Structure 1
Amino acid sequence: MTTEIAPVKVIGNGPERIIAVAGWMGDHHLFDPFLPLVDPARYSFALLDARGYGSRKNSDGPFTIEQIAADIISCADGLGWSKFHVIGHSMAGMSAQRLLVDVPDRIASAILLAPVPASGARIDEQRRQLLLAAIQDPEARKRLINANTGGMRLDEWLAKLRDTSLAGTRPEVLEAYMSSWTGPGFANEITPVQVPVRVIVGEKDPGAVPQRLRETIGTWFPDFDLQILPGCGHYPMWEEPQTFADALFSKP
């Protein structure tokens, strides 16, 4: 069963409720290869686009980590979900951590997929320049995707993901979000909460380094679990959907 509750797509009608938000480089279509693996009798899987992306491409800002978190709560309210699991990919992983500060009682668990820590991303100048180039230049965006997936994918595969990214984003919105997720963050506001936090990263992802995530997210949240996915980079739900599904739906 697939229903449309604008601007949200909901897969299934099961009792386990999940809201998922993709990261900086794309809209909800980044989850498309994984969606056939969702059990519709067990899960209600809601896909929410960040403002300025996909189904909300023409929406106004603010285009910030904090606004994504607020929109997730509005989405849950609109669906009538008092408590839910949240999947935050990349920059939206930072937004999921914001929810653990603001409304921990509403979060059944947080799945942080290749996340930016709440302290913000730390990037060197070379990577910053590649990110900035990828905002405007399709070839640079393909190079970024290649770097983020370990340089092991075919050009046709990279082009398809690049084109999906281009179709679902706006350059000025990408630039605004980048300022947010590379900012100072809010780690100083985090207090220990009894919410399960699962971090999922691909072994080929240069930006989501397991040791740094253990030293940040792993020290902030007491119920912490880290899974490293073989053969995956920054987009496991697109690269290896079955591997991602196994990690997502397995018990800690």
Structure 2
Amino acid sequence: MTGHVARHVVPYEVQGSGPEGVLALHHWLGDRSSFGQLRRHLNGGAFSYAFMDCRGYGEAMDTPGTYTMEEVAADALAVADDRGWDTFSVIGHSMGGKAAQLMLLDAPSRVRSIVGISPVPASGFPLDGEMWELFVGAVEDSGNRRTIFDVTTGSRHDDGWLDARVSGSERSSPAALRSYLESWTRGSDIHDRIEGNATPVLVVAGANDPAMGPDTMRSTWLQWYPNAELEVFDDAGHFAPDESPEALARVIERFLGRY
């Protein structure tokens, strides 16, 4: 493969040996292991999935960086280069959805399709007042993280479920969390640059997500991408990979199989 500039490759792992490459970008409070439940239900014969750690998370905890959505997008393209994928699809969960859209701008001929799971819109998602303080506090405070997991799933899960999510969030560095938070909430608004983009897009939203729920998706993603479709999970909130992993895997692979 030619024409791609070599750069640092962040840690990642591949599942499956199928001919179609798929990159998976995790959410703000979890490393690549946050896809663990979903991975149990994926078809490794049809697809090859690359699950990467963003800088400051998991095996990339100590990897220095600017910790921005732009950097995540560039690192994801480097993983695709490392795999030898000229074209691929991207799954982006929450903040990973913003990075996936930046990849469309960086490499428009390479991104086959995008799956956004409760994804941050191209405009970002500004948080104000008490909500901003809750998220800023979550950089250092596990209690704030627990509240975020609880509120964004409609307060439907028990202590064990919340404890497990908080434990997973500890595989992240405070410096990275703080910078990424600024980037996905108040960073560049690129919606005018992607509006009308014909790339096939699947948006998955949990009915119990008060932030990135179906209404938010309809007023952003579905307005800007003419080939976008919305799948609503009635029994999930913001964390469908944990809340409805088997159903999510089916929906994702049915969509990816069309492109």
> What interval of TM-score do these two structures reach, taking the shorter chain for normalisation?
over 0.9
Residue 194 of structure 2 corresponds to 190
Question: Contact 2:10 / 2:60 at 8 angstroms: preserved in 1?
Answer: no
In structure 1, the partner of 2:78 is 74
Q: How many residues align?
A: 247
- Alignment equivalent of 1:123, drawn from 124, 127, 131: 127
Q: Distance in 1 between matches of 2:134 and 2:195?
A: 34
For 1:6 and 1:41, the matched residues in 2 are separated by 25
Q: What is the identity, as a one-letter code, of the residue corresponding to 1:176?
A: S
Name the CA distance, whole Å, in 1 between partners of 2:239 and 2:71: 23
Distance 1:249 1:180 in 2: 29
- Amino acid aligned to 1:151: S
Q: What is the TM-score of this pair, normalised by structure 1?
A: 0.93
Identity %: 34
Distance 1:62 1:6 in 2: 14
Q: How has the CA–CA distance of structure 1 residues 92 and 6 changed in structure 2, closer, same or farther, with 3 Å as cutoff?
A: closer
The aligned counterpart of 1:222 is 226
Unmatched tracts of structure 1, length 5 or more: none
1:161 Cα offset (Å): 1.0
What pairs with 1:195-206 in structure 2 (closer than 5 Å)? Answer: 195-206=199-210
Give the superposition deviation at 1:76: 0.2
Cα-to-partner distance string for 1:111-155 (whole Å, 9 max, x where unaligned)? 011111111103231211111121111122111111111101110
**1:31 counterpart = 2:35:** yes
What is the aligned partner in structure 2 of residue 51 from structure 1? Answer: 55
1:161 maps to 2:180? no
> What is the CA deviation profile of residues 59-78 of structure 1, one whole-angstrom value per residue up to 9, with x for unaligned ones?
01110011111111111000
Equivalent AA in structure 1 for residue 232 of structure 2? I
**TM-score, structure 2 as length reference:** 0.91
**Is the Cα–Cα contact under 8 Å of residues 206 and 214 in structure 2 kept in the other structure?**
no
Q: Please provide the CA RMSD for this pair.
A: 1.5
SS of 2:40's equivalent in the other structure is: helix
- Residue 243 of structure 1 corresponds to which residue in structure 2? 247
CA distance in 2, matches of 1:75, 1:152: 36
Q: Find out whether 1:85 has 2:82 as its counterpart.
A: no
